[in-house]
């Protein structure tokens, strides 16, 4: 049996309202009706998938993350910078150009969870954002197979 899609990801959110606000503000997430699990939980719609926020006593993982496709990387980048959400710690920088014209931005949510915002089209970035973009090839050598990698298996985002 094969899975047919990704339904949701779940992350801990010790300050549930701050985390809800982060996902609403940066990604346009929408609150969904949520079952009562006996502790604070909020389900959010992000496109056709969901992010589930749990107020549980568990620290955020340093490298484990999930990626969200965004249409306007400029807006997400600017807003993340304004709210201090850019993550420079794990990979030495926050904004990368990957093979096949993919753009990757690392953020930390209020619960400390690592979130990756992804978009296609370096040419769609403003000059301001492009000036901060670092090609992954500047940090790590890429083989021919590595250069065929893509975050987007379907049509252009």
Is residue 139 included in any domain, yes or no? Answer: yes
Residue 110 lies in domain: 8-148
Is residue 2 included in any domain, yes or no? Answer: no
Is residue 154 included in any domain, yes or no? Answer: no
Is residue 157 included in any domain, yes or no? Answer: no
Render 7-21 in DSSP notation, one character per residue: -EEEEE-SSHHHHHH
User: Where does the pLDDT of residue 2 fall: very low under 50, low under 70, confident under 90, or very high at 90 and above?
Assistant: confident
Q: Give all strands (DSSP E) within 13-127, no chain letters.
A: 30-32, 41-46, 49-54, 65-69, 95-98, 102-108, 114-120
Is residue 48 included in any domain, yes or no? Answer: yes
Count the domains in the chain. 1
pLDDT for the residue 41:
97
Is residue 153 included in any domain, yes or no? Answer: no
Q: pLDDT of 62-110, one tens digit each?
A: 999 999 999 999 999 999 999 999 999 989 999 999 999 999 999 999 9
Q: pLDDT of 9-67, one tens digit each?
A: 999 999 999 999 999 999 999 999 999 999 999 999 999 999 999 999 899 999 999 99
Is residue 35 included in any domain, yes or no? Answer: yes
| Residue 88 CA neighbour count, 13 Å, CB half | 6
Which CATH number do you get for residue 135? 3.10.180.10
pLDDT at 157 over 70: no
Is residue 43 included in any domain, yes or no? Answer: yes
Reduced to 3 states, what is the DSSP secondary structure of residue 32?
strand
pTM (2 decimals)?
Answer: 0.92
């Amino acid at each position: 049996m094969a899975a047919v899609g990704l339904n949701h990801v779940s992350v801990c959110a010790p300050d549930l309202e701050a985390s809800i606000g982060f996902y609403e503000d940066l990604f346009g997430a929408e609150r969904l009706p949520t079952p009562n699990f006996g502790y604070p939980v909020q389900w959010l719609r992000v496109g056709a998938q969901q992010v589930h926020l749990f107020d549980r006593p568990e620290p955020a993982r340093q490298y484990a993350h999930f990626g969200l496709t965004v249409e306007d990387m400029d807006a997400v980048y600017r807003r993340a910078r304004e709210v201090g959400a850019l993550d420079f710690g794990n990979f030495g920088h926050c904004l990368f150009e990957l093979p096949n014209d993919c753009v990757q931005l690392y953020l930390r949510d209020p619960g400390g969870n690592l979130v990756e915002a992804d978009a296609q089209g370096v040419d769609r970035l403003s000059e301001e954002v492009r000036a901060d973009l670092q090609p992954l090839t500047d940090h790590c050598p890429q083989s021919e197979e590595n250069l065929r990698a893509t975050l987007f298996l379907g049509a252009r985002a």
